[in-house]
Structure 1
Amino acid sequence: MNEEILINLNEKQLNAVKTTEGYVRVIAGAGSGKTKALTSRFAYIVKYLGINSSNIICVTFTNKAAQEMKKRVKKLIGDSFDISLITTYHGFCVKFLREDINKIFYPKGFLILDTEDQKTILRNIYTELNITSRDLSFKQVFKYISNSKKGLDYLNYVLQNKTIETNKDDKLLNTIFQKYLEKQKRNYALDFDDLINFTIYILTNFDDVLNKWQNRLHYIQVDEAQDSSENQFQLIEMLSRQHKNLFVVGDPDQTIYEWRGAKPEYLVDFDKIFPDSVTIIMNQNYRSTPNILKIGNHIIKNNKIRVDKEMITQNPEGIDVVHFHGCHEFEESLWIAKEIKEIIKIENAKFSDITILYRANYLSRNIEQALIKENIPYTIFGGVKFFERKEIKDILSILSLINSEDDISFLRMFNNPTRGLGKKFLENLTLVAQSQNLSLFQALKKNIEKTELSKKGAKDFLDIIIELKELSKIKSISDLVKDILDKTALGELYRKDGDEERINNIKELVSSMILYENESQEIVTIQDYLQEISLYTDLDTNNDIQDKVKLMTIHISKGLEFPYVFLCGFTEGVIPSAMAIKERRNRAIEEERRLTYVAITRAEKRFYLTESEGFNFISGSNKYPSRFLFEINENFYIRKGELSQDIINEAKLQLNLNGTDNLEYLNVGDFVFHNVWKKGIVKEVDREKNQYIIEFMEIGKTRPIDFSFKFLTKLNQESTSNRIIKSHNNKEEKVLENKRIQSNESNNKKWWEFWK
């Protein structure tokens, strides 16, 4: 069995396996056999070095990955070894705390809270404080709790009864957080953040426990190290101090979880943190064709937070990568559906060989409609089909109630959002409806003055639907949705909930309505629209077929591979995400570029990039191809669909891609020209706030200027003010700007203003 451990390893994998001592960093590119190297190394340490498997810890990020590693290790070393320390970070912390949490006077049988348990605690707190989700959404509270638990300070309050440091500007959140901690402590309950924080606290404050675990863990292996947070890295660093055998493997180019705490710098700067460390770069890809890898390499090299590498492969050249540009979303999605049929026909492939990736779930709507239209079976991984999502069903139910006054829609919406109409009210209304042979809505309308039905919430709901019925006679469906959201308070509920995806889904629904109305030869009624939509909401569609095209977000696809991959919605504002850029600027652009890289490197045989023209309700502007498309040499792919030079020029102007990308490109001492304040000098570069501090000569004052501000140009010795002014006021830009303004229809503008 020993021989099995080392067979079929390439030179760099073998090097990683046999380098067992000291601090070792392995940069393992996409499809390079990372898991094979990791599990072979574990087996090598056990079988070749004779180390007891219980003295080796191997941490990864998901239970699925941990189970896969255990399975592979067992195959290499047999079933008689203890491999319980092949686990997740949270799994290790649970083992640790079950053994040593008594040090802080907690029982070893402490409770572990899941999300539903946390919600139960919050509901109890809301009742005590006499508040509702209208005052503060659970999402806001969860975010506050998670942010407050990034450090260990809160444990001084929990474990030592010291005063908790709070944010004075958020009194309600502070109060809820404090009560949440008190209820946790009373029940000896830990949430997921607590598991690692309590572990670090005990290791930091009890030397005997630290020494015990350091002595026990002779070898430490970390999978997907680029996704480690500050606390996670601190934990493994503490545990490795005694034997100094820390092996980390990962790929900074695939860091896609910075938004939830991942710090790729720990992997990128590993050689600086541990100067005696060894670095091994595994850059041979076994998955993709050279044509696919070429565009992945070309895009990712633009990132700064990375370890330089170029993925190579010995696979045959394969089929050219394709970029498709559609004149609208329907053309884009229909082209994808027809191309899938071609793949099935030409390559004798199965539907399950094909995967469609997107940046966000709302993008599945057009794709789903096209696949159903072309009778292509599909399944959505990790998500809900578009027309089955709560917020979409809510709006469609109101439309249905306006149109047909049916009971199903009434039951869904009469107390949504809550109007204080409980079980007893519904029982009374049902009895009246049955006795008069009316629908529930008709019974309410006819009997609203009856004592058992004349609730304020019932009258309000009745008035809303009657008013919407009148509005539906004079308004288009896309216009009516705004009134539905406004008058039913659903819009306020979704905004309050803070779930950006719900809002994006509604924008996508309205966008599809506008397109449907524009393409229709006649005025579209509610009945027409609901009939059209019914084609796409049949729950029985293809449910009995296992051979299905897979639809999923790029995040879900990480770690997977597929023969044929389409990345749809390759549009600026979608990828890179406008919201992410707004929140995290150039850090976000790097992560969005990594997301693109992850999508590309999922593909084995064929890869497609698709996008289309139109209006983007998410960013509130016309649609342009993603800036990442312009980072790829046009010789590396073939284009299908007509992408006009006007759109390319306009995109580059809007994205500022003509050599004047201002996202942190100036240095202290650089002279600049501002379109209003003229000449200035950079006095400071503030990377925390993403801004320059610039002193402007003409006004004699300093001003903070955002990194992303377009009309700021670096001056060189040959530059003159006249030349700069000319560059920012040329005719081309004015013409393109006028085109953009004229192309935005009034309803597009109105909807953007409504959701802004």
Structure 2
Amino acid sequence: MPAPSSSPQPSSAPPSDLFASTVPRTPEAILEALDPDQRAVAEALTGPVCVLAGAGTGKTRAITHRIAYGVRTGMYTPTTVLAVTFTARAAGEMRTRLRDLGVSGVQARTFHAAALRQLSFFWPQVVGGPPPRILEHKAPAVGEAARRLNLSVDRVAVRDLSSEVEWAKVSLVTAEDYERACVAKGRPAPAGFDHRTVARLITAYEEVKTERSVIDFEDVLLMLGDMLASNHTIAETVRRQYRHFVVDEYQDVSPLQQFVLDQWLGDRRELCVVGDPSQTIYSFTGATPHHLLSFQKVHPDAQVVRLVRDYRSTPQVVGLANKLLATKGVRRSGSHPALELIAQRPSGPPVAYTTYDDDESEARGIATKVGRLVAAGTAPSEIAVLYRTNAQSEGFEAALADAGIAYLVRGGERFFARREVRDAIVLLRGAARSAEPDIPMPTTVRDVLTSAGWSAAPPAGRGATRERWESMQALVGLADDLWAKRRASLPDLIQDLEERSSAQHAPTVEGVTLASLHAAKGLEWDAVFLAGMSEGLMPISLAETDEAVAEERRLLYVGITRAREHLDLSYARARNPGGRAGRRRTRFLDGLWPSDNPAAGIRRAPRDVGGRSAVVVTGTYDAELYEALKDWRTARAEAIDRPKFVVFSDAILRAMAELAPTTNADLVRIDGVGPGKVETYGAEVLGVVRAHVEKKSGN
């Protein structure tokens, strides 16, 4: 085999934060950064080892320190360690952390990346010639298979059938066994089709691929697994190369991935698995917690370590997460009780619960609250609005745009595909060849990007210009982080960018994140808004079995545990303004929502969004006063070096121009103007209004 090629930061650190200091020089220095449970993981250098790690407990810190400790003590040779996880981003983060710990040479890859590398290497020896081309997308081949069967399909149907083909393959279910397997599991066929038709389509799909001499991503795992299982020489070559295995997010392994892992291991026992059954949310793709839950049965002598100290979230957030799983006896998951987290952070604000009249009010209300957080100092990139389905994003996009708040939809254009990012990297790569060694790397980066249009201050307004600046600002921020962490050079930055590009591990872009609950897995923010907490959305109406409903509860648990400090749950009684208020709150929050406990109180947001009696704004405003308020806002924003929307949004200024407030009480009744804003800007706003009125009256 070829020689192996040579992260969010920990959710929150135990008392000693290694990443804020220099690279540890001794094995004991590596362990000093860990709490007792994390240390137990790091010291368990021989397998089998099972780490049951709750949300926010520092599992990535524990396993990367375990690898680094093993290398530093001489127990591991770096090139014989293979750490596998489920996303390229997570693998990239793991490599970054290992490098920060002074360890290079460890292979940290996704299952598919590791398998593809091995398959590509051995294919010429076993089969001959180059390996087949890999289909990037199944849809064209699935569409062709459907046409051969005279099936009437549209884009949505092809997408659903593609997902079903993928599920069958990762579940090791053949076309011949598909119907029987689905009946046994209670798995319905995609809408508009029956199981027998889908089984025929799976056969036709495989025929299309064979004719085109292509394979899909699941074939990479299948072919490698079969190659290792049937060719002893190849298997032994791989097993000599890789002697120690770490599998992250083990609750999400599919039968196909477990099959490949078994071939990698052979009859050896050097395996460390890490997972949390309570975060199993991808069963519809073939993921199953079975292998994690049965690990001790398969390996009776396995060391089991539980990580329950939550460094991410406040006691208020952790308390709700624990109660959600404890409700109605759902804390037990299979043969393991769900982990009960113990918060390590100081107390924070209470969890907020808000009921809105309709979806539009909910989106507008959340935008208002986001604006208040930003005005109080929370970075937009540390705020997320999470929802059950991607279709819900539109309303929040509109509300945030109206409020002048930058946002990004997770799943949009990839960071490294943006033209300004590609151009900036080309310029930085060129500068790296002639960089002055005495000039700090961040200074050089700023000089280079200034020539490409970057400026220290963000451009006014929003749109393409602002987005372009934010992309380059993210590169500046990354340069600052690497310099602070390890005095990195410009070539080091280029290498880091290349690795991030390969792993699609983008630096932070300033803007509120909009994402589905599934897309939020593995991420965290200071403030999280969980929107649409009503029956039909949470759990989603498609969840008809007990197992599906249980997974929806786990999905909500994942959403809750994304929040570090501020957590806001809400739902709307109606879909449209003036519509029938027929929705009811999700059953998962029964007994937890404050209205179920009158002593706890509840926030009720009618049309005003703030829980107070708001004035009605018609949209007809004094244009001259509006311009005067805009001029004041521009000057104020420049004075505090913040974007204009941080002071007040255009919508709020228009409301002021219509109502011409004369007192602080008038101001606070305007939607989006809270006591904090009144205290900071109230006197100035009232002065602008008073001057305008006096000017019009001729006084």
Give the TM-score normalised by the residue count of structure 2.
Answer: 0.61
Give how far 1:131 is off: 6.7
Match of 2:342 in 1: 312
Q: Which of these residues, 338, 360, 372, is aligned with residue 368 of structure 2?
A: 338
Give how far 1:606 is off: 0.8
Q: Secondary structure at the match of 1:77?
A: coil
Letter of the aligned partner of 2:271 in structure 1? L
Q: Secondary structure at the match of 2:310?
A: coil
Match of 2:127 in 1: 105
> Per-residue CA shift, 1:129-158, capped at 9, x if unaligned?
77764599422442453244246575999x
- Measured at CA, do residues 131 and 299 of structure 1 come closer, stay the same or move farther in structure 2, by a change above 3 Å? closer
Give how far 1:15 is off: 0.6
Match of 2:220 in 1: 195
Q: Which runs of 5+ in 2 are unaligned?
A: 1-24, 178-188, 414-461, 471-509, 607-699
* Deviates most, 92-101 or 16-25: 92-101
Match of 2:526 in 1: 563
1:327 correspondence with 2:357? yes
- Measured at CA, do residues 180 and 102 of structure 1 come closer, stay the same or move farther in structure 2, by a change above 3 Å? farther
* Deviates most, 36-45 or 302-311: 302-311
Q: How does 1:206-605 map onto structure 2 within 5 Å?
A: 206-301=231-326, 302-305=330-333, 306-345=336-375, 347-383=376-412, 543=467, 546=470, 547-579=510-542, 581-582=543-544, 585-605=545-565
Letter of the aligned partner of 2:366 in structure 1? I
- Measured at CA, do residues 323 and 44 of structure 1 come closer, stay the same or move farther in structure 2, by a change above 3 Å? same
- Measured at CA, do residues 107 and 621 of structure 1 come closer, stay the same or move farther in structure 2, by a change above 3 Å? farther
Match of 2:4 in 1: none
Q: How does 1:557-706 map onto structure 2 within 5 Å?
A: 557-579=520-542, 581-582=543-544, 585-614=545-574, 622-632=582-592, 634=594, 639-641=602-604
Letter of the aligned partner of 1:606 in structure 2? H
Q: How does 1:80-119 map onto structure 2 within 5 Å?
A: 81-83=104-106, 85-101=107-123, 105=127, 107-115=129-137, 118-119=138-139
Match of 1:2 in 2: 26
Q: How far apart are the structure 1 equivalents of 2:549 and 2:149?
A: 41
Letter of the aligned partner of 1:554 in structure 2? L
- Measured at CA, do residues 571 and 248 of structure 1 come closer, stay the same or move farther in structure 2, by a change above 3 Å? same
Q: How does 1:150-165 map onto structure 2 within 5 Å?
A: 150=170
Q: How far apart are the structure 2 equivalents of 1:95 and 1:108?
A: 13
- Measured at CA, do residues 540 and 63 of structure 1 come closer, stay the same or move farther in structure 2, by a change above 3 Å? closer
Letter of the aligned partner of 1:10 in structure 2? D
- Measured at CA, do residues 638 and 334 of structure 1 come closer, stay the same or move farther in structure 2, by a change above 3 Å? farther
Q: Secondary structure at the match of 1:372?
A: helix
- Measured at CA, do residues 626 and 96 of structure 1 come closer, stay the same or move farther in structure 2, by a change above 3 Å? same
Q: Which of these residues, 38, 46, 54, is aligned with residue 29 of structure 1?
A: 54
Is the 2:112–2:221 Cα contact (8 Å) retained in structure 1? yes
Q: How does 1:52-201 map onto structure 2 within 5 Å?
A: 52-78=77-103, 81-83=104-106, 85-101=107-123, 105=127, 107-115=129-137, 118-122=138-142, 133=153, 137-150=157-170, 176-201=201-226
Letter of the aligned partner of 2:165 in structure 1? I
Q: How far apart are the structure 1 equivalents of 2:582 and 2:176?
A: 51
Give how far 1:623 is off: 0.8
Letter of the aligned partner of 2:217 in structure 1? F
Give how far 1:128 is off: 6.5
Give how far 1:24 is off: 0.7
Letter of the aligned partner of 2:603 in structure 1? K
Q: Secondary structure at the match of 2:332?
A: coil
Give how far 1:182 is off: 3.4
Letter of the aligned partner of 2:381 in structure 1? S
Give how far 1:122 is off: 4.7
Letter of the aligned partner of 1:304 in structure 2? R
Q: How far apart are the structure 1 equivalents of 2:280 and 2:306?
A: 17
Q: Secondary structure at the match of 1:247?
A: strand
Match of 1:487 in 2: none
Q: How far apart are the structure 1 equivalents of 2:560 and 2:196?
A: 46
Q: How far apart are the structure 2 equivalents of 1:220 and 1:548?
A: 37
> Per-residue CA shift, 1:61-88, capped at 9, x if unaligned?
011111111121122234xx433x3111
Is the 1:560–1:602 Cα contact (8 Å) retained in structure 2? yes
- Measured at CA, do residues 127 and 225 of structure 1 come closer, stay the same or move farther in structure 2, by a change above 3 Å? closer
Is the 1:292–1:321 Cα contact (8 Å) retained in structure 2? yes
Is the 1:59–1:221 Cα contact (8 Å) retained in structure 2? yes
Letter of the aligned partner of 1:139 in structure 2? R
Q: How far apart are the structure 1 equivalents of 2:134 and 2:399?
A: 44
- Measured at CA, do residues 253 and 127 of structure 1 come closer, stay the same or move farther in structure 2, by a change above 3 Å? closer
- Measured at CA, do residues 616 and 58 of structure 1 come closer, stay the same or move farther in structure 2, by a change above 3 Å? farther
Is the 1:322–1:637 Cα contact (8 Å) retained in structure 2? no
* Deviates most, 633-642 or 10-19: 633-642
Letter of the aligned partner of 1:22 in structure 2? G
Q: How far apart are the structure 2 equivalents of 1:178 and 1:569?
A: 40
> Per-residue CA shift, 1:446-476, capped at 9, x if unaligned?
xxxxxxxxxxxxxxxxxxxxxxxxxxxxxxx
- Measured at CA, do residues 147 and 71 of structure 1 come closer, stay the same or move farther in structure 2, by a change above 3 Å? closer
Q: Secondary structure at the match of 1:12?
A: helix
Pair member with larger Rg: 1
Match of 2:675 in 1: none
Is the 2:316–2:350 Cα contact (8 Å) retained in structure 1? yes
- Measured at CA, do residues 124 and 327 of structure 1 come closer, stay the same or move farther in structure 2, by a change above 3 Å? closer
Q: How far apart are the structure 2 equivalents of 1:141 and 1:341?
A: 42
Q: Secondary structure at the match of 1:382?
A: coil
Is the 1:326–1:641 Cα contact (8 Å) retained in structure 2? yes
Q: What CA RMSD, in Å, does the superposition of the two structures yield over aligned residues? A: 3.3
Is the 1:89–1:232 Cα contact (8 Å) retained in structure 2? yes
> Per-residue CA shift, 1:337-388, capped at 9, x if unaligned?
222232233x32233322111111122233233223333332211159xxxx
> Per-residue CA shift, 1:469-514, capped at 9, x if unaligned?
xxxxxxxxxxxxxxxxxxxxxxxxxxxxxxxxxxxxxxxxxxxxxx
Is the 1:47–1:77 Cα contact (8 Å) retained in structure 2? no
> Per-residue CA shift, 1:397-450, capped at 9, x if unaligned?
xxxxxxxxxxxxxxxxxxxxxxxxxxxxxxxxxxxxxxxxxxxxxxxxxxxxxx
- Measured at CA, do residues 365 and 213 of structure 1 come closer, stay the same or move farther in structure 2, by a change above 3 Å? same
Give how far 1:304 is off: 3.3
Give how far 1:291 is off: 0.7
Q: How far apart are the structure 2 equivalents of 1:180 and 1:51?
A: 44
- Measured at CA, do residues 379 and 541 of structure 1 come closer, stay the same or move farther in structure 2, by a change above 3 Å? farther
- Measured at CA, do residues 608 and 125 of structure 1 come closer, stay the same or move farther in structure 2, by a change above 3 Å? closer
Letter of the aligned partner of 2:518 in structure 1? H
Is the 2:353–2:593 Cα contact (8 Å) retained in structure 1? no
Give how far 1:290 is off: 0.5
Identical pairs, percent = 28
Q: How far apart are the structure 2 equivalents of 1:153 and 1:562?
A: 39
Give the TM-score normalised by the residue count of structure 1.
Answer: 0.57
Is the 2:47–2:302 Cα contact (8 Å) retained in structure 1? yes
Is the 1:111–1:190 Cα contact (8 Å) retained in structure 2? yes
Q: Which runs of 5+ in 1 are unaligned?
A: 158-166, 385-537, 644-756
Q: How far apart are the structure 2 equivalents of 1:608 and 1:379?
A: 19
